[in-house]
Amino acid sequence: MPDDEIPDVPQFSAEDFKDEPVVPNHRASKEQSQGFSFFRPRTPVGDRRTTTKQPRPKVVVPKVRPGHFVEPLTQIYTGFGIAILPFDPVCANAVLQAAGRCAESLDNLAQENESVRRALFALTKTTAVGMVFVAHMPILLAVVIHHVPTAQNMLGAMGQEMAENIARQMEQNQNPPENPDA
């Protein structure tokens, strides 16, 4: 017997299997995974989904009066403009000047489009996280203006004046006058 033949395996030919039906194996070409992975979805048995995914009902957003979103959107634009003021006064000024017009145009679009109205409701809804962020903005601005030399250099005299005003306000908050009614 030659060395390349294995004696335990019988030799077959196509004639031996001509009467048996051929059943295709659909999984034969799929890659076999090398163990369990948290980052890949598990394929259901039989490669078919056993449950049907129920579509989520759309949130119904009521129509609102014209101008409903103008004030909160103006506040958002203004807050953004003030936040970038220490880093880029030119862009901040452009944002601050356009805040009202941008808010009005988005409000007009929300009157016509339910998807925009839904997004604006989500954006303008006051949440606890949003309030925490807003409450910490003055601290962040004071630290940036006072301790970041790049912001001080970019703002120049205006940045120095802002830093002094913030420091004065913080000092007044720490040492309020004893008799404010006098």
Give pLDDT, residue 87.
76
Residues 134, 138, 140, 144, Cα dihedral to 10°: 150
Give pLDDT, residue 70.
93
**Residue 102 in contact with residue 77, Cβ under 8 Å?**
yes
**Residue 114 in contact with residue 61, Cβ under 8 Å?**
yes
What is the rounded distance in angstroms from the CA atom of residue 97 to the CA atom of residue 102? 10
What is the rounded distance in angstroms from the CA atom of residue 110 to the CA atom of residue 67? 10
**Residue 44 in contact with residue 27, Cβ under 8 Å?**
no
For 88, residues 6+ apart whose C-beta sits below 8 A from its C-beta are: 154
Report the phi/psi class of residue 5: left, alpha or beta, with left for phi > 0 and alpha for psi in -120 to 50. Answer: beta
Ranges of residues in the chain with a pLDDT under 70 are 1-10, 17, 26-51, 126-127, 151-152, 154-160, 162-163, 166, 170, 173-182
